[in-house]
Chain A
């Protein structure tokens, strides 16, 4: 019991130290570096949300941009056309996406993994074409391919989630990421997590032990979709425009999968590690080789090939292995 308390205390202390470090560091970064850090954490958040369904439950989705787009559009429409704060729009988008996730899951979870993946790709493309073609639903303006602009307000305004000073965006995304990681950790260590792992490894075997795989997967889908949509609202507020070609794009869905798999699919901190690698490489390559056509993407691609070829389980397991080895050596030395 005492040991457990000590562990909890250490974790709490680490958390407080990290939060303090973040606040201090953010004071010294200019807006460009803050923007990079925000993107890293935002993609870590999206990939962690994706990881709940595709990592923990083993249902490989390449259509999660649907939920990001729904979150972005819901909060933007509520704000621009009804004057409702994006904070409330965020929750509304989350609920809408969770509902849609369940609707998608009901028929699709009957499919085996590869077929499920293909269906998610198809659904994302259908959604993109629908949003690019629909101008309005009743009195609600969707604006088809034109998308929706978010009118900017002066200064830092918490109520409408718009800030000139980027560090406030950083605090919000860090808060969202912390909640997401906590949910992931809770799922991973709870009964649900063990059942999801069993379903992901061998669905028939899990079902023979009375695990209701369909219900579990629907739960995972709802949580994953809700979180992605909440992040989508944040994304829209950050870039101030809802462009369907970006928000519902296959490239965005693929990026979530790449980030999570590079870091370590199915691990709580895997997507965060992946985002650190992917976004750093991406931003560096873009900043340094912008005017040499395609070179930034080539560098990015080569790094991805290296990672996938030599670290198929992700970077995090390798880091963990070396950290453990290091600690063991220290323990031996102290003995």
Chain B
């Protein structure tokens, strides 16, 4: 009897699931027919049959709602990053909506539709299909892991829907022609170049300070790309790599790696670690009392909001190359309100590089909508590629202008900034042009570390 009841409940749930999945497409009134129309338009576009006139600006959605797709890994170990990026996107959209929406479209409001990539390509592709064919979004923002973003980039190119790449730094995303996607912040090659420039500058200040290096990285595409870049750059600087270690994303013990570091004692440690391994590495290093002259991180685990609460002062002295840091706002007094309001909205949580990437990507799409005056994907894409956002634009929180290479979609103005953990806060110190007044680089970094202080 029990089994019968459960079978009925299960069957009912499945029926509801399937009905709910389908429910949206048959939505009532305008929105339902509009979605169908958009899906049809997208399918026509793929077949290359769309007439040129379709791409002309059509303010038909005046005063209505424009749907944007947001694709991030909301489940799994990368969920914290997704949450930060989402907060940035929501903040930007609320800001645009509260300022009267998209004015060229009669004040149309932006609505965000979410999709979970689950950190895998298959789910990401499926969600991108859903957002485009079923929800009828005009553009997509996302997706963090570069290989996942690549599969979404493929889908967007097939449907001719613009993609504002957010928090993905894989170089493959901007190699070759990518007519329907843009990157706003730095890519991996910019990060490795920035590290190399930093090492070179430090050697110029203190000749011979950095002669040996260690590379520690995750065994995924991001870690591999950074590892390859570092090897190339360090070889050019004639710096010997004495440790080159790769570990799994879910590594639970880094004692062997740290023992190797202690043994070889490299001058600089370059690392590409997500939150879990970054925290583990920091704590293990502090545990054995090891600190290199400079610990160069790559804007991942160490910029997570939970990193400092986890490791406390143990990260003091570490350097982080980042697409953005909260101090950037300190060098832009007229935009300080953006950081303040973000903290207020998010119960005291601070802006991260991911939130900044989300904010900027959403703003780029909104600017494109404004310029296109239409929610047609082709028109938005054309407008997006022609954007020229100056450094002093009211919303541009990056220390560089935003414009895109017409072939690859890369923002070639993007430069990573470099910060140093000083008393549990990231202080931007490099390049010197963005350093906040009164902030100084403490080099070698270990002078800040608790281990050094206790000597």
Contact = CB atoms under 8 A, between A and B. Distances in A.
A297 B74 CA distance: 10
A240 B151 contact: yes
Contact of A280 (B17, B116, B219, B220): B17
A30 interface: yes
Contact of A145 (B17, B116, B122, B219): B219
B122 A246 contact: yes
B123 interface: yes
Interface stretch (A8-16, A148-156, A196-204, A212-220): A148-156
B118 interface: yes
Contacts, number: 149
A241 interface: yes
Interface of B: 2-3, 6-7, 10, 13-14, 17-18, 20-22, 25, 39, 43, 46-48, 70, 74-75, 79, 82-83, 86, 114-116, 118, 120-123, 125-127, 129-130, 132-134, 147, 150-151, 154, 157-158, 172, 219-221, 223-225, 246, 248-249
A318 B39 CA distance: 39
Given A241-B150, A243-B147, A33 B219 contact: no
Interface in A266-297: 277, 280-281, 283-284, 286-288, 290-294, 296-297
B20 to A, nearest CB: 6
A172 interface: no
- The secondary-structure label for the interface of chain B is helix
Nearest to A154: B48
B125 A245 contact: no
Interface residues of A, number: 52
A152 B215 CA distance: 34
A33 B22 CA distance: 9
B20 A310 contact: no
A91 B402 CA distance: 48
Given A164-B46, A284-B17, A146 B75 contact: no
Contact of B151 (A35, A241, A284): A241
Shortest beta-carbon contacts, A-B, top 10: A284-B17, A291-B114, A290-B116, A290-B114, A32-B134, A32-B133, A32-B130, A31-B133, A30-B133, A145-B224
Interface string A146-176: 1101001011000000001110000000000
Contacts of A280: 14, 17-18, 21
Contact of B74 (A152, A164, A288, A290): A290
Nearest to B14: A280
B409 to A, nearest CB: 16
Given A280-B18, A286-B118, 5 more contacts: A32-B133, A36-B126, A129-B219, A284-B20, A290-B114
